[in-house]
Amino acid sequence: MKSSKFRIFTWSLYDFANTIFSLNVVSLYFPIMIKSVYKGPDLALSVARSASMLMVAISMPLAGVAADRLRRRMPFTIFFTLVCCLATFLLGKHELMLMQLVLFAIAIYCYQAALVFYDAVLPQLTSPQQMGRVSGYGVALGYMGSIFSLAVIPLFARSTDYSQIFTWTAALFLVFAVPFFLTVRDQSPLPVQRIWKLAFESAKRISVILRDAKSSPGLLRLFVARFFIVEALETIIFFMGTFLYEAAGFSNVRTIVGNFDEIRVYFLVVTIFTAAGSLAWGFVTDRLGPRNSLIGAVVLWVVTLASLIFTANKGVYYVLGSLAGISLGGVWTTERPLLINLVSNNERLAEYFGFFALTGRMAAVIGPIIWGVTVWIFGPLGTIKYRFAVGSVLLMMITGLVILRKVPDAR
C-alpha cells in the first residue's frame, strides 16, 4: 500500500496538536489550578475525570461501529476536536469550581472521542509493515508539541494566569489540527443512512464484536491487560502535576530560567525524553514486534514506579521522570500496531478501536478514583499519602504486565 508522506506528516501533526492539550490541561495546569486557586480535593478532580471517561467508555463502541458502517472517520474527528477546543478556551474564566470541572469533563470527553477515529485512520495511510514506525512518528511528534507549548506559552502567559494559558492551548490545538483535517479524506464514503436504522444496526454489531473478541484469546487478553496498564498510566499522567506540587516540593511560582518555573522545567525535561523514546520505540516495534516492545515498555514502568515510592530527592525525580517518559512513549507507540496486527479485517478497525477505547477509558474511570480515595484515606499522614497513591498505581501496572505476557505475537 503506497501512502503520501505529506498525509502521514499531517496525521502525525494531529498528535502534535492534541498532546498540547493533554499536557497543558490534563497533566499540568488544570489540576494545579483546582488545587491552588479553588482549594479543591484530589477526589473532586478524580470524579470529574472519571465521569467524562465513563461517558467515553459507554458511547465510543457504538460510535466506532457507526463510523465503520458509514466509512466516515474524519467528520467525527473534526467535530469532537472543535468542541474540545471550545471547552478548553472557556476554562479558567468562571469563578465556580463546579463549572470548571464540568468544562474539563466535556473537554476530556471530546479529546478522547476524537482519538478513537483518529487512530482508525492509520491503515489508510501506510502498510502494515510500516505501522509501528508511523505510529512512532505520531507519538514522537505529539510530544514535540508538548515541548513546543511548554516553550511558547510562557512567552504569552504567566504560570498562574490560567485563563490565558487555556486560551492559548485551545488555539494551538486547533491551528495544528487543521492540516490533518484538510489533507486526509475517508476512502469510498457511503451515503448517510437514516439515523435510527444505523443506530439499530450498530447496536447489533457491538454484540458481534464482543463475541469475536471473546473467541480470540489474544484480543481478549490485550483488552484486559490494557485495562490495567492504562488505568495506571492515565492516573499518573493526570496526577503528575499534583504530585510534584503537593508531595515533591516543586513550585509553579519559583522560576529557574526566565518565566520557566520548576514544574514547567520538569515537564519540559520529561517530555523531551518521551518524544525521543516514542521515536525509538517505533523502530524497536518494527524489529521486535509490538507485543515484545510493549512488554518492555511496561517493565520499565514497573521499575520506575517502584523507585518513585522511595524517592525524596529532586535530582532523582528528574531521572525517574525521564525513564517514565521513555516508557510512556513506548506504550503509546506499540499498542496501536499490536491491536491492528491482532485484527485481521481492517474494514472493522474503528469498531475494535472503539472497544480499545472501552477498556482504556473504563480504566481511566477507575484509576483516578482509586488515587483520590487513597489520598483521602491516608490524608492524616500528610504528604506520605501520595506514596501510597503511587503504590496503588504500581499494583495496577504489575497486574497488566502479568496478563500481557500471555498475549501472542501476531505479526
Hey, where are the domains in the chain? 5-182+193-404
The rounded mean pLDDT for the chain is: 83
**Sign, Cα dihedral of 194, 199, 200, 201:** positive
If one compares 174 and 408, the residue with the highest pLDDT of the two is 174
Q: Could you tell me the CA-to-CA distances from 270 to 278, 281, 285, 323 in Å, in that order? A: 12, 16, 22, 8
Percent pLDDT > 70 in the chain is 83
For residues 151 and 148, what is the distance between their CA atoms, to the nearest angstrom? 5
Q: What is the C-alpha to C-alpha distance for residues 378 and 103, in angstroms, rounded to an integer?
A: 29
C-alpha cell at 411: 505479526
Specify whether the CB–CB gap between 88 and 107 falls below 8 A. yes
Name the H helices within 121-186. 131-152, 162-183
229: nearest Cα among 359, 382, 376, 350: 359
pLDDT at 176 over 70: yes
Percent of the chain surpassing pLDDT 90: 31
Q: Give me the residues paired with residue 260 across strands.
A: 257
| Residue carrying the nine cell digits 500500500 | 1
Residue 120 has pLDDT above 50, yes or no: yes
Mean pLDDT of 35-58: 88
DSSP state of 133: H
| pLDDT greater at residue 407 or residue 132 | 407
Amino acid at 268: L
The pLDDT value recorded for residue 48 is 93
In the chain, DSSP finds a helix count (H) and a strand count (E) of 14, 2
pLDDT number for residue 2:
43
Residue 179 has pLDDT above 50, yes or no: yes
Give the range among 58-67, 162-171, 336-345, 369-378 with minimum mean pLDDT. 58-67
Evaluated on CA atoms 146, 148, 150, 154, the torsion sign reads negative
Name residues whose C-beta falls within 8 Å of residue 347's C-beta, 6 or more positions apart in sequence: 68
195 versus 141: the higher-pLDDT residue is 141
Q: Could you give the CA distance from residue 216 to residue 236 in angstroms, rounded to a whole number?
A: 31
- Of residues 251, 264, 81, 237, the one with CA closest to residue 157: 264
- Residue range 16-44: average pLDDT? 90
First to last CA, the chain: 17
Kindly tell me the burial class for residue 75, based on how many C-beta atoms sit within 10 Å of its own C-beta (0-12, 13-18, 19 or more).
Answer: middle
- Is the pLDDT assigned to residue 346 strictly greater than 80? no
Stretch among 107-121, 145-159, 164-178, 194-208 having the lowest mean pLDDT: 194-208
Q: Which range (21-25, 43-47, 182-186, 255-259) has the least confidence?
A: 255-259
Residue 1 pLDDT exceeds 50: no
pTM, two decimal places: 0.78
Least confident of 116-125, 226-235, 238-247, 259-268: 116-125
pLDDT in tens, 398-411: 999 999 998 887 66
pLDDT at 275: 76
pLDDT in tens, 363-403: 888 999 999 999 999 988 888 999 999 999 999 999 999 99
Q: Is the model's pLDDT at 13 over the cut of 80? A: yes
In the chain, the amino acid numbered 196 is: W
Please provide the DSSP assignment of 16-51 as one string. HHHHHHIIIIIIIIHHHHHHHTS---HHHHHHHHHH
- CATH topology assigned to domain 5-182+193-404: Growth Hormone; Chain: A; (1.20.1250)
Q: What is the DSSP string of 259-318?
A: TEEHHHHHHHHHHHHHHHHHHHHHHHHHHH-HHHHHHHHHHHHHHHHHHHHT---HHHHH
Q: What is the pLDDT of residues 228-243, one digit of tens each?
A: 998 899 899 889 888 9
Residue 191 has pLDDT above 60, yes or no: no
Kindly give, in sequence order, each residue whose CB lies less than 8 Å from that of residue 317, ignoring residues fewer than 6 positions away.
Answer: 244, 248, 266, 308, 311
Q: Residue 167: is its pLDDT beyond 90?
A: yes
